[in-house]
Chains A and B, each alone.
Chain A
Amino acid sequence: MILLALLTLTDVTAQAGISFRHDHGGSGRRYIVEIAGGGVLAFDYDADEFPDLFYINGSPLPGTNGPRAGNALYRNLGDGTFRDVTEQAGLAGEGYGMGGAASDLDNDGDIDVLVTAFGEDQLYLNNGDGTFRSRGRESGVADDRWSSSAAFFELDGDGFLDLYVANYLDFTFATHRECVSPTAGISAYCHPQEYGGVADVLYRNRGDGTFEDVSAASGVAGLSEGKGLGVVALDFDDDGDSDLYVANDTTRNYLYRNDGGGRLTEIGVEAGVSYNEQGLAEAGMGVDAGDVDRDGQLDLVVTNFDFENNTLYRNLGGGFFFDATSAFGLGAVSLTELGFGCDFLDLDNDGWQDLVVVNGHILDNIAEIQSNLSFAQPGQVFRNEGGRFRDFTASSGPAIGRPRVGRGLASLDFDRDGDLDLAISSRGGAAELLRNDGGNAGGFIGLRLVGVASNRDGVGARLTLELEGRPWVDELRAGSSYLAQNEMTLYVGLGSAPKAEGLSLRWPSGRVEEIQSLEAGRWYVVKEGVGVIR
């Protein structure tokens, strides 16, 4: 057993050379769009095996003057520092960005980027030389509705990544309303219930860097009441294809079962993941999937509004989940926080997925409305102690517990020291990079995947192994949390085990790679049909 008391999340933002600051663009008119951004993506844009960071920015809204600050791409130099390469990469972007996702969309060996927006979403294809080109509307994804989180996944098993984009509210400047708090009698951002929802969008990848909207044919377009903020792809029923879970704000969450042939069926209510145990829709924000009880099934977490718990849905198998928030010790510890970014990750390499959540209210004057709440709120670390979580924030160093208006959260091992670090984005605040110091007291292996029949990055691949007599399972994802993406590495904490044994890697193509043993403390590259190549 590793002593997590030795783990500290150290703020290294300044020394790493990251100076990004999010601009919500507000002028005091309280357009609801100001509350939601911005996101952060961790991906290796230059294929040097060091994950880079991409922060997505808002832009001035009516009533505000000044230039757009732009998104920021930080190249990881491999020595613990980053350099802003936004301009040469061509990723400053335009419009009011929200979040996005990144993966190799044309299977040419480099990672492409989608930026979601309040306005047209933008797809940037990687030229392989450190620069990107925008396909503009030709890409087929330039939907101008208010988009939030996105996830790439294989819908139809054709070896190209398809795309799900969660859309939020039917808000425009023309439909803007001025709202007041009835108790405090002061101006406040409107409740999302003041605006209608918008149907999400499903795109099929044509394979040439362009996408086709298949929302209608797939069954996604019919659900227009949802107010989507978070999305994660997972094979919840372990049938070999990727399903989707969508967190909606104040409306029921969706679970789409992939029925093959490009068809998704929404089964959230019957499966027990649309509502909390009270049968109530919550204000879903961020979402992640992970096997928190090591029973071989992927569970789900959704972050919610204050005085709603972050909800943990335990996967019971057979297509059923149940709200196990209280049973897992998460019931009373997240009540006064408003959660956004969330990540299941093994912070201390003990083989159990811990949970990190970043919080921050949506009302900038919430303290005047409700005196025990605050706009900026501390982040939280929950340590998984054999299937039950314990609040470990106070023992993780001061940085994570510092108040911020947290939104995006992504995990990556930026310094390649064998433990997962955190990148955080805040609404209207400074970006943060928290280095994990001490998490690598336990062993680990990291797997980067190279798909052949499957998509090039192996997104959707499912790794299973047995660790200390219990199953361990996870999948590779491109897009999760809130407006965010983790580094695309399958990362296994091994505790004191000197090696991982009996690994089985199921690719989206259906091919299964059996790997007998991998020594702890190393990163490996696994190629589909070949096995470990490095």
Chain B
Amino acid sequence: MTLALVAVLFLQEAMSLLDQGRRFLEERNPAAAERVFRELVSQSPQDSRANYYLGIALARQDRTEEAIVVLENARRFAKRPNPSILYELGTAFSKLERWQEAEEVLKQATELVPMEAVMRLQLGWVYYSKLEGERARAEFERVIATSPSAIAFLYLGLTEIGLGRNEPAVEALREAIRLETGLLEANVALGKVLARAGRDEEAKPVLVRALQIDGSNAEAHFQLGLIALRRGELDSASRSFDAAIDADHEHLQAWYNRALVAERLGRGEEARACWARVAELRASGAEDPEAKRRMRARTK
């Protein structure tokens, strides 16, 4: 066999493994994909593409730190800067809340392919997570200018909430829902932001729609409970808090308000049981994820 023929056969085998691994990824079988890509990497340790796919397979198994090592290899062995590798790396850094590194690689990725919405959305999300709302908004607005999508408007809406800008948040979330009525997160976020502004009449149908999309959404049930509570409709509030608790037994806020309603209704035993659950949840560290996010981003 000539050297050329060996090379061709080797390449064919590699291509076949690559396709096989990709198929596993498409079939959402990352463990099988990992085995295939590891084989490829062992054959060609400096193959950027093999390292890239191995990184994806690891990331999809939530083995993010391992994924980062491999993706860094893919980045190093690439002949030229590759935006896909940078994007995957940025996403992995984001998962580990290594925001500075995530920002750095995602900025590079978006400079290479400025019109790629997914990458810019991820960069915006990094800014959002770093509490840099203005920069997040700028990224989401750039995405919307070129390829408007419900997700982009949802992210913009969440960013506006983070910036304390209620009205722009309402507008963005309404637009997200207009583009994709069934986008649950947008409906819940809009319901919450309207309720916080005291616009209960507008909030209620939005939250009801959220429950039509997903009847077991704890947050929508909870917000409807708060609206009922504000109206003094204690029984209705109680039912909504119960539904929130059924949907998420660790919904501290729902347990808390359920306890208050029981107190007001004079149902002492029921209240005591709810308070006990509230105490349990507090002890286990269950609290508002947004508050946690802000806390992490503040000081250590």
Q: Smallest CB–CB gap between A34 and chain B, Å?
A: 15
Asked if A277 is at the interface (CB within 8 A of a chain B CB), the reply is: yes
Asked if B114 is at the interface (CB within 8 A of a chain A CB), the reply is: no
Across-interface contacts of A185 in B (CB, < 8 A): 100
Binds B, one of A256-264, A330-338, A408-416, A478-486: A330-338
Asked if B80 is at the interface (CB within 8 A of a chain A CB), the reply is: no
Knowing A278-B288, A332-B197, A336-B164 touch, does A182 contact B134 (C-beta < 8 A)?
A: no
Binds B, one of A38-46, A98-106, A149-157, A318-326: A318-326
Task: Give complex CA distance A6, B200 in Å.
Answer: 32
Asked if A269 is at the interface (CB within 8 A of a chain B CB), the reply is: yes
Interface 1/0s, chain A 331-372, versus B by CB < 8 A?
Answer: 110011000000000000000000000000001000001111
- Which chain A residue has the least Cβ–Cβ distance from B300? A182
Knowing A179-B299, A280-B291, A327-B230 touch, does A370 contact B196 (C-beta < 8 A)?
A: no
29 examples of A-B residue contacts, CB within 8 angstroms:
A179-B299, A180-B299, A180-B300, A181-B299, A181-B300, A183-B99, A183-B131, A185-B100, A190-B299, A191-B298, A193-B295, A270-B263, A278-B288, A279-B253, A279-B255, A307-B294, A320-B260, A322-B229, A326-B196, A326-B197, A328-B198, A331-B196, A332-B166, A332-B196, A332-B198, A335-B164, A336-B163, A370-B131, A388-B198
Across-interface contacts of A188 in B (CB, < 8 A): 298-299
Partner of B132, one of A278, A326, A371: A371
Across-interface contacts of B300 in A (CB, < 8 A): 179-182
Partner of A372, one of B163, B196, B198, B253: B163
Q: Smallest CB–CB gap between B190 and chain A, Å?
A: 13
Knowing A280-B288, A326-B195 touch, does A320 contact B263 (C-beta < 8 A)?
A: yes
Across-interface contacts of B271 in A (CB, < 8 A): 270
- Count of interface residues, chain A, beta-carbon cutoff 8 Å: 42
Across-interface contacts of B263 in A (CB, < 8 A): 270, 272, 320
Is B253 in contact with A280, judged by CB distance below 8 angstroms?
Answer: yes
Is B253 in contact with A278, judged by CB distance below 8 angstroms?
Answer: yes
Is B297 in contact with A182, judged by CB distance below 8 angstroms?
Answer: yes
Is B135 in contact with A371, judged by CB distance below 8 angstroms?
Answer: yes
Across-interface contacts of B55 in A (CB, < 8 A): none
Across-interface contacts of B200 in A (CB, < 8 A): 326-327
Asked if B191 is at the interface (CB within 8 A of a chain A CB), the reply is: no
Asked if B63 is at the interface (CB within 8 A of a chain A CB), the reply is: no
Asked if B187 is at the interface (CB within 8 A of a chain A CB), the reply is: no
Asked if A329 is at the interface (CB within 8 A of a chain B CB), the reply is: yes
Asked if A189 is at the interface (CB within 8 A of a chain B CB), the reply is: yes
Instruction: Using C-beta atoms within 8 Å of the partner chain, give the interface range for chain B.
Output: 35 or more
Knowing A182-B299, A278-B253 touch, does A372 contact B133 (C-beta < 8 A)?
A: yes
Across-interface contacts of B197 in A (CB, < 8 A): 326, 331-332
Residues in chain A within 8 A of chain B (CB atoms): 179-183, 185, 188-191, 193-194, 269-270, 272, 275, 277-280, 306-307, 309, 316, 318, 320, 322, 324, 326-329, 331-332, 335-336, 363, 369-372, 388
- Which chain A residue has the least Cβ–Cβ distance from B99? A183
Interface centre among A179, A324, A327, A363 (most CB of B within 10 A): A327
Task: Give complex CA distance A185, B130 in Å.
Answer: 11
Across-interface contacts of A306 in B (CB, < 8 A): 164
Knowing A185-B100, A331-B196 touch, does A322 contact B132 (C-beta < 8 A)?
A: no
Partner of A331, one of B198, B255, B298: B198
Tell me the chain B residues, 169-211 only, with Cβ under 8 Å from chain A.
193, 195-198, 200
Asked if B110 is at the interface (CB within 8 A of a chain A CB), the reply is: no
Q: Smallest CB–CB gap between B62 and chain A, Å?
A: 22
Task: Give complex CA distance A329, B195 in Å.
Answer: 10
Which 6 A-B residue pairs are closest in the complex by CB-CB distance? A279-B256, A335-B164, A336-B164, A332-B166, A331-B196, A370-B131
Task: Give complex CA distance A277, B252 in Å.
Answer: 11
Asked if B257 is at the interface (CB within 8 A of a chain A CB), the reply is: yes
Is B133 in contact with A371, judged by CB distance below 8 angstroms?
Answer: yes
Partner of A183, one of B130, B230, B290: B130
Asked if B35 is at the interface (CB within 8 A of a chain A CB), the reply is: no
Task: Give complex CA distance A369, B298 in Å.
Answer: 8
Across-interface contacts of B264 in A (CB, < 8 A): 316, 318, 320
Asked if B74 is at the interface (CB within 8 A of a chain A CB), the reply is: no
Q: Smallest CB–CB gap between A306 and chain B, Å?
A: 8
Partner of A191, one of B130, B131, B195, B299: B299
